[in-house]
Amino acid sequence: MFKRTIAVALVSIGLIAISACNTVEGAGKDVSSAGKAVANAADGAK
């Protein structure tokens, strides 16, 4: 399960890096979304 959490985190980071954020607010939303995905994956691994 730990490997899955790492994979989700890496995919999320990759999507953030690839996506074009026009504003700082947009970047903040992307980071928040990625954080929620990682947290959900971590909760699922318990």
Reference 19, options 6, 7, 29; nearest CA is: 29
pLDDT value at residue 14: 79
pLDDT band of 38, cuts 50, 70, 90: confident
pTM exceeds 0.75: no
Contact 13, 34 (CB under 8 A): yes
For the chain, the structural domain boundaries read 2-45
pLDDT, tens digit, 9 for 90 and up, residues 1-27: 788 888 888 888 877 777 655 566 677
Two structure tokens written together for 28? 């903040």
Output DSSP code: residue 12: H
For residue 46, the 8-state DSSP code is: -
| Sole residue written with tokens 């607010």 | 25
